[in-house]
Amino acid sequence: MAIRVMAPANIAFVKYWGRADHDLFLPTNSSISMTVSGCSTTAFVTFPTDAKSDKIIKRSISGLVTVLSQEDRKSRALYAQIQRIRNLSGQKGFVTVDATNNFLSDAGLASSASSFCAITGALLIAFGLRGIFDDKKEFSRYVRLAGSGSAVRSVYGGFVEWHKGHSCNTSVAEQLADEHHWRLVDLIAIVQTEKKKHSSSFGHEVAKTSPFFEQRVSLVSDRVVGVRQSILNKDFTQLGELIESDSDCMHQVMRTSNPSLNYWNDGTHKVMQKVFALRNKGVEAYYTIDAGANVHVLCQTNDMLSVHRALKQLDVVSSVVVNGPAQGAKIVT
């Protein structure tokens, strides 16, 4: 039986937005995230004897089954990853990769992070490169080359920093603290289930056209230090203020790039207003939004029920996904 690899998604506290090198997927800035428990991808690899080419099959929670095209830019990097790992192993034979998401795809919930990480992990195992899979720094380096930056952070559990580095070798992820360190809660208020209008890849390409891009890059190094400290000291107020400003700052860059990228909808605004209202009432909650309309609301365990209830009551929210910090990519049976 094929060995399965499960990789969780992650929510960025300091966002990766913009690349220094598009071919090598090197980011312009370092980023920090929490690996989440409620959204994951499970992938496995088979070697069909009659196969004439490699094949990647993606299954979504809605039952949709897609065979990724070798022509599509993003999938091309994933097919090149199969070739890279096969060459490294010295083996031959075409593979079929089967990857299933347990959550919404392409709605800004980091489905590429979990799927690219799970697929790379499953390939390493299938081609007998267990040593790389177990050496997490090395694994994170390989994941990046599959074509999704944020996926490198899903290798580790808990709280993770992706050092931007300046080359293939130095751009790697590192764990700041494991999943037991701090029981933070991330409630995702779903206000949009359709595919987002613009891919993150496209956003990274046009980010530099924003007049605010350089300003964000220069502010972000201090934010990385602050978020790292707040995680290690479990200072929720400091963390919340920093993640909200980094999310606002990234969306300002998105809106002012050419073309302008506006991922939010009415529901996004209503959830943000609810977060402000909760804070005015003394309930500590903070939002952060990736490249999509759905809103991640962070709180501590003692406030989880009241924040969950408040979000569910909004007519714009179709469901709420509950996440805690999770273990990183792992082999499952």
Q: Which residues bind ligand DP6 (CB under 6 A)?
A: 12, 15-17, 25, 31, 110, 112-113, 148-150, 200-201, 204, 290-291
**Which two tokens mark 151?**
């996926």
Residue 322 Cβ vs ligand DP6, minimum distance, rounded to whole Å: 20
Angle ∠(27,31,36) on CA atoms, nearest 5: 120
Minimum CB separation of residue 148 from ligand DP6 in Å reads: 3
Nearer to ligand DP6, 152 or 317 (CB): 152
Nearer to ligand DP6 by Cβ, of 105 and 310: the residue is 105
Q: Smallest distance from the beta carbon of 119 to ligand DP6, in angstroms?
A: 13
β-strand pairing of 55-59 with 96-101: parallel
End-to-end CA distance of the chain: 9
Query: Smaller CB distance to ligand DP6: residue 251 or 274?
Result: 251
Choose between 136 and 296: whose C-beta lies nearer to ligand DP6. Answer: 296
> Token match 């609810």: residue?
274
Q: Please report, for residues 31, 35, 123, 136, 272, the alpha-carbon distance to residue 159 in angstroms, rounded to integers and kept in the order given.
A: 11, 6, 25, 14, 24
Least distance from ligand DP6 to the Cβ atom of residue 309, Å:
27
Q: What is the CA radius of gyration of the chain?
A: 19
Please give the Cα distance from 249 to 92 (Å, whole number).
47
Nearest distance, CB of residue 205 and ligand DP6, angstroms:
9
> What's the CA gap between 283 and 45, in Å, rounded?
46
Q: Is 275 helix (H, G, I), strand (E, B) or coil?
A: helix
Nearer to ligand DP6, 112 or 294 (CB): 112
Question: Is the Cβ of residue 94 or residue 212 nearer to ligand DP6 in the bound state?
Answer: 212
What is the closest distance, in whole angstroms, from the C-beta atom of residue 202 to ligand DP6 in the complex? 8
Name residue, tokens 């956003």: 203
Q: 46 or 245: whose CB is closer to ligand DP6?
A: 245
Q: Give the CA-trace dihedral at 45, 46, 47, 53, to 10 degrees.
A: -60
Backbone dihedral region for residue 234 (phi beyond 0: left; psi -120 to 50: alpha; all else: beta): left
Kindly state the smallest distance separating residue 11's Cβ from ligand DP6, in Å: 8
